[in-house]
Amino acid sequence: MIFINEHYNKLKASYLFSHIAKKVEDFQGKHPHREVIKMGIGDVTKPLPNACIKAFHSAVNEMAEEETFRGYGPEQGYLFLREAIAENDFRSRGADISAEEIFISDGAKCDTGNLQEIFSMDTRVAVQDPVYPVYVDTNVMAGRTGGWKDGRFEGLVYLESNEENGFVPDPPREPVDLIYLCFPNNPTGATASREKLSQWVDYARKNNSLILFDAAYEAFIRNDSIPHSIYEIEGAREVAIESRSFSKTAGFTGIRCAFTIVPYDCMGYDREGKKHQLHAFWNRRQATRFNGVSYPVQRAAEAVFSPEGREEVRELTEFYLENAKIIRNSMSSLGYRCTGGDNSPYIWVKTETDSWEFFDMLLEKAGVVCTPGSGFGKCGEGYIRLSAFNSRENVEKAMERISLFLRY
Ligand code: MLT
């Protein structure tokens, strides 16, 4: 008899964004003539930068010739891309990261979901609340939590992020082993200062814990005092793994390319207290389960760091940030308190009403899709998230409709 992994039964029936997609599909089925504007899932709308397209085409052409054709690539990614990342994203900002510490992958979602596999089952896990659901659900699937009770999974430590702490929690009083931090934050759009991140790094060093730092939205940071990487903080190499993505930066949501840094100094412990390099564990995991990202996609990603690519990526992020400003200003002028949207593509809006009711109302009356805050956790109740990834026309139209509907 084939038995199921019963931990899956603890989860809600469907993943947050799949559930929203289904609700929108049902709505469109009932109202085929209503135009719906999607500001829910953070999916980019602008095409790939020209520099990436050129590199992509040229790599596809290489695959068409026997002399330049490539089969399996290195599971860790091609060195040309790892070198470009190490130099441009880290060393140029004073963060000491080598190409060999970078693992190329097909998504930060996959990496942040998969990384928990290399840790023991009794790892005490801390997550921010509200939280990107992948960190929670993958630990539930693995069996690291109890059941769902009062809007939370038993066994997880929830780090409440709210208006009082500026949506950046302090380290907990109790020791935890694995800490998921995401800045600029999904969903709140909040950013963490150097001082705050230093507090977390100090905590992790003191407790021999590990920070899993999700920096998928770092390219949207405009305030120079905000760190882009946790490795800008002294001591972080010993206690932090960082994930990043080309998805939101360069429009790669459809072609998939991301990376995770596992520094050689990052250690895990066995029951005898002996240290083990997490780099070796992650390398073993990737080599076994993953065959790398396709060569043309990695060449396209490399082009992000060319002079033309950098300029185009800057334009892309500027465009979405301008959308974010429009959204934030419109919602604020309607009297809603907002976070994010300045160094982040997400705007976290305090509605003070049931999040799912607000979602339904916005869809019904304005034909606009948002993400209900409670979908990200208990502390998200009474909020919605609006995504700035859309065309200017849609953002303006959505804001006009919301203004009309919320005014009456
Ligand atoms: C989001 O909307 O939170 C993201 O698009 C989800 C993701 O990147 O997987």
Q: What is the pLDDT of residue 90?
A: 97
| 4: confidence class by pLDDT, cuts 50, 70, 90 | very high
Residue ranges of the chain that CATH labels 3.40.640.10: 52-305
The pair of structure tokens assigned to 141 is 């699937």
Please give the distance, rounded to the nearest whole angstrom, from the Cα atom of residue 109 to the centre of ligand 1.
Answer: 8
To test the pocket of ligand 1, the residue of 44, 112, 132 to mutate (highest count of ligand atoms within 8 Å of its CB) is 132
- Tokens standing for residue 360: 């339904």
Residue 107 has pLDDT above 70, yes or no: yes
Which residues have CB under 8 Å from 2's CB, separation 6+?
Answer: none
Atom of ligand 1 nearest to the CA of 245: 8
CATH fold, domain 14-43+308-407, is Aspartate Aminotransferase, domain 1 (3.90.1150)
**Ligand 1 pocket: which of 15, 16, 17, 371 to mutate (most atoms within 8 A of CB):** 17
Beta bridge partners of 104: 259
pLDDT of amino acid 13 = 77
pLDDT at residue 256 greater than cutoff 90: yes
Share of the chain above pLDDT 90, in %: 98
- Residue 120 has a pLDDT of 98
Give the bridge partners for 384, in sequence order.
349, 372
* CA–centroid distance, residue 196 to ligand 1 (Å): 24
Q: What is the mean pLDDT of residues 76-84?
A: 98
Lining ligand 1 with CB less than 6 A are 41-43, 109, 186
| Ligand 1 atom nearest to CA at 387 | 2
Q: Is 0.95 topped by the overall pTM?
A: yes
> No. of H helices and E strands in the chain?
13, 17
Alpha-carbon distance values, 305 to 30, 58, 249, 252, 298 (Å):
46, 16, 12, 14, 12
- Percent of the chain clearing pLDDT 70 (strictly above): 100
Nearest CA to ligand 1 atom 5: 42
Amino acid found at 151: G
Band the pLDDT of 406: cuts 50, 70, 90: confident
Counting atoms of ligand 1 from 1, which one is nearest the CA of 186? 3
Query: pLDDT per residue over 310-365, tens digit each?
Result: 999 999 999 999 999 999 999 999 999 999 999 999 999 999 999 999 999 999 99
**In CATH, what class is 52-305?**
alpha beta
- C-alpha 137 to ligand 1 mean position (Å): 14
Exposure of 10 by Cβ count < 10 A (0-12 exposed, 13-18 middle, 19+ buried)? middle
Count of all residues that appear for the chain in the document: 408
Distance CA 182, CA 242 (A): 10
Confidence of residue 203 (pLDDT cuts 50, 70, 90): very high
Dist. CA 108 → ligand 1 center (Å)? 10
**Shortest CA distance to 178 belongs to which of 154, 159, 196?**
159
CB contact at 8 A, 35 and 240: no
The yes-or-no verdict on residue 105 having pLDDT over 70 is: yes
Q: Are 209 and 176 in contact (CB under 8 A)?
A: yes
- Residue 218: its pLDDT value, please? 97
Q: What is the DSSP letter of 155?
A: T
Q: Which residues make up the CATH 3.90.1150.10 domain(s) of the chain? A: 14-43+308-407
Question: What tens digit of pLDDT does each residue of 166-193 get?
Answer: 999 999 999 999 999 999 999 999 999 9
Query: Residue 114: CA atoms inside 13 Å, Cβ hemisphere, count?
Result: 20
Q: Give residue 267's pLDDT.
A: 97
